[in-house]
Amino acid sequence: MSDASAYPVDETNRVKRLHERGSYDRATVHAILDAAALCHVAYVVDGRPYCTPTLFWREGETLYWHGSSASRMLRNQSEGEPACVTVSHLDGLVLARSGFHHSVDYRSVMAFGHARIVTGDEKLRALAAMVDRFYPGRWASLRPATQQEIKAARVIGMAIEQASAKVRDKGIVDDEEDYALPIWAERIPVHNVLGAPEPCPRLVAGVERPAGLAGFREGRTLEDALREAHAAMRP
Ligand SMILES: Cc1cc2nc3c(=O)[nH]c(=O)nc-3n(C[C@H](O)[C@H](O)[C@H](O)COP(=O)(O)OP(=O)(O)OC[C@H]3O[C@@H](n4cnc5c(N)ncnc54)[C@H](O)[C@@H]3O)c2cc1C
């Protein structure tokens, strides 16, 4: 019986190596996606693989990314081409007592689907969501997009057909006999932390930083800010 809370699994997305780290649970996959701003989109053109880093955002089961209409990546993702979107978070450096057990803690997702060009009202909505996903409510406060700008942008959508998450979060794991060795071992947490915002030097006098940007403050992790922004975007 299929489980609606998980993605279907077959040879495409079944985690084989260290499969105990794998998950197909939609909530787990979404949480890893929503904590990221960047993804890598992999696709094949004339038998050659390309893997392009780009901003992305999620709405339900659809991932969106955008770029120039002239971009090769976007031109080649227009005809229902198969694509694989990956996201990864490096959470910790793991220094064990042997080279073999040096590792990293991480969370990652591989999502599979077919890319399609987003047009019409969905494109306008997606372009607004691209801003609001990061900075909720900001689109409405901006100078409206011109027809030329809208034309120059291409938006790609990909319904997630299958996905897998893989998580390592166990720090140091050495062979039992190695714990007695006089060798230093440690885990170094890794965080992507925001710096102090730098207001544009050409701001018009009296323009204040919008209250909605309060989540983006110095010292906070990027993923906390993104997660909060994503939750605020939900209807
Ligand atoms: C930051 C980071 C660092 C890593 N460093 C190493 C390393 O140094 N050495 C190493 O061997 N591995 C590392 N990994 C794990 C690596 O991504 C692969 O999971 C692993 O190498 C197995 O690859 P495979 O092609 O044999 O996967 P298989 O298990 O054969 O892949 C089958 C399917 O499993 C799923 N899958 C596999 N890997 C992932 C993943 N990472 N996230 C989500 N789904 C996945 C996909 O759906 C894939 O199609 C790292 C991962 C991250 C995120």
pLDDT tens by residue, 183-221: 999 999 999 999 999 999 999 999 999 999 999 999 999
Cβ burial of 77 (10 Å; 0-12, 13-18, 19+) is: buried
Sign of the CA dihedral 33, 39, 45, 48? negative
Ligand 1 proximity of 42 Cβ (cutoff 6 Å): no
Is ligand 1 within 6 A of the CB of residue 109?
Answer: yes
How many A from CA of 8 to the centre of ligand 1? 19
CB 28 less than 6 A from any atom of ligand 1: no
Is the pLDDT reported for residue 23 higher than 60? Answer: yes
Beta bridge partners of 156: 65, 117
Of the residues 9, 10, 11, 16, which should be mutated to test ligand 1's pocket, given the most ligand atoms within 8 Å of the CB?
16
| Residue, of 94 and 234, whose pLDDT is higher | 94
Q: What is the pTM of this model?
A: 0.94
